[in-house]
Amino acid sequence: MHWLVQRRYSDFDWLRTVLCKFFPRILIPSIPGKKLGNRRFEEDFIEKRMKFLQIFIDDVMINETLKSSEALYAFLSFDDRVQFERKMKELNSIIPSQYCEDIKTLEGKMTILNDDFNENYYINLNNYFKLQYQILTRLNYNLKNFFKSITMACMNLDEVHKDFENLNILNSKVMMKESINKTYEELSVFFKNWKRILYNENLIIKEEIKHFFKSQKMETFAFIDLIDNRELIRQKYISEKAKLDAKKEKLYKIMDYNKWEIEDNFGQVDRALLFRDKNYAFEKMCTRETQALENIHKQLGYANYMNIIQLKNIINKNSTKLVQITKEFANKFYPSLNDGITLWSTLNTYI
């Protein structure tokens, strides 16, 4: 089963924006920029951007929560442009609920990580990303140099091919043995084919590794956005809690129950205990503001949990991909290079 829909770059941008709006605690993969300098309409740039947009869709489809979203369904299924744009407008107008109780998860409940959560985790996390970025930058730099050296080797192989071709022409003029001329011709073809195979493998793997580093960088930036958003929630919670605690302190000194803003629908309240136990009074007074603050606290706890889970997924996925392309890289190049070293050493004994 398959179907075809036509989508613009702006549609991908819309999809990611809407997913970020409705799933603020889930890592939404990044998409490449719309243009790079004046290259917006160049075919090679458009083709590369299409590859990254495909990676974006694949990553979204891996996530079970995102896969069931209304926005993704509309993006993939509406083949009528007018109908699709109507749905886009509808989803743009919806304001997601800010209450944690309205968050739906696959398990049907949220996991909160707050009371015993260590803020040093995020300090260590930032250090991890800094060190990882340095190592991967160095790895990328060294691999680029290796690809340059392979490109140079391909040029040298091309020259060797021409040299054997010239030897064949030269020896044919002085009527050397036919077997010698045939061997020169075979060597010329061998080096020409070797250069072509090595060159093509070099280009393919270069693109694979380049795509990995770019997508890995894009994903890291997306995760850093999640960390920054989580920090905004934490700062908001600290600020709102300080203001509410100050207000409760002021109200508690008044010792007037009618001014403590305790809602009637809050449940059973022990009035006598209110005046004896300050902590109990703080839990009950300013009901609406206390519940709003608790909602922020739950959002923070949910963000803590989701960030840890998604960080593990990112590391596992990227590490698996890096191992895969590096093994493929080594398995393809090592035999060619090993054969080349053997051949050079043999030739050197005759030159």
Average pLDDT over residues 198-221: 81
Q: What is the predicted pLDDT for the residue at 251? A: 92
Average pLDDT over residues 97-112: 73
The parent domain of residue 184 ranges over 103-351
Q: What is the predicted pLDDT for the residue at 243? A: 96
Which residues are within 8 A (CB) of 236 and not within 5 positions of it... i.e. 6 or more apart?
296
pLDDT at 235 over 90: yes
Q: What is the predicted pLDDT for the residue at 248? A: 94
Q: What is the predicted pLDDT for the residue at 250? A: 93
Single out the residue in 43, 68, 96 at which a domain terminates.
96
Residue 313 and residue 170 share a domain: yes
More confident call, 237 vs 137: 237
CA–CA separation, 92 vs 82, rounded Å?
Answer: 15
* Least confident segment among 54-63, 75-84, 204-213: 204-213
Average pLDDT over residues 268-273: 86
Residue 107 and residue 92 share a domain: no
Q: What is the predicted pLDDT for the residue at 67? A: 86
Q: Which residues of 200-215 are buried (b: 16+ CB within 10 A; e: fewer)?
A: ebbeebbeebebbbbb
Single out the residue in 69, 96, 123 at which a domain terminates.
96
Q: Residue 264 carries which DSSP code? A: G
pLDDT at 74 over 90: yes
Residue 226 and residue 177 share a domain: yes
Residue 85 and residue 207 share a domain: no
Place of tokens 């009527």: 175
Per mean pLDDT, which of 125-129, 174-178, 272-276, 315-319 is the most reliable? 272-276
What mean pLDDT is reported for the chain? 84
Quote the number of domains for the chain: 2
pLDDT at 237 over 90: yes
Residue 148 and residue 285 share a domain: yes
Residue 263 and residue 129 share a domain: yes
* Least confident segment among 59-63, 244-248, 331-335: 331-335
pLDDT digits (tens, 9 = 90+) for 106-159: 666 777 888 777 888 888 887 888 888 888 888 888 888 888 888 898 898 899
Residue 51 and residue 136 share a domain: no
Q: What is the predicted pLDDT for the residue at 208? A: 79
When pLDDT is cut at 50, 70 and 90, the band that residue 18 belongs to is very high
Single out the residue in 96, 115, 148 at which a domain terminates.
96
**DSSP per-residue codes, 34-73:** S--TT-TT-HHHHHHHHHHHHHHHHHHHHSHHHHT-HHHH
pLDDT digits (tens, 9 = 90+) for 305-346: 888 888 888 888 777 877 887 777 777 767 666 666 676 666
Length of the chain: 351
Residue 163 and residue 129 share a domain: yes
Q: What is the predicted pLDDT for the residue at 108? A: 66
Q: What is the predicted pLDDT for the residue at 343? A: 67
Residue 315 and residue 219 share a domain: yes
Residue 275 and residue 175 share a domain: yes
pLDDT at 75 over 90: yes
Residue 145 and residue 64 share a domain: no
Residue 157 and residue 71 share a domain: no
CA–CA separation, 58 vs 39, rounded Å?
Answer: 25
More confident call, 232 vs 263: 232
CA–CA separation, 76 vs 57, rounded Å?
Answer: 10
User: Can you give the CATH number for the domain in which 9 is found?
Assistant: 3.30.1520.10
When pLDDT is cut at 50, 70 and 90, the band that residue 244 belongs to is very high
3-class secondary structure, 245:
helix
User: Can you give the CATH number for the domain in which 315 is found?
Assistant: 1.20.1270
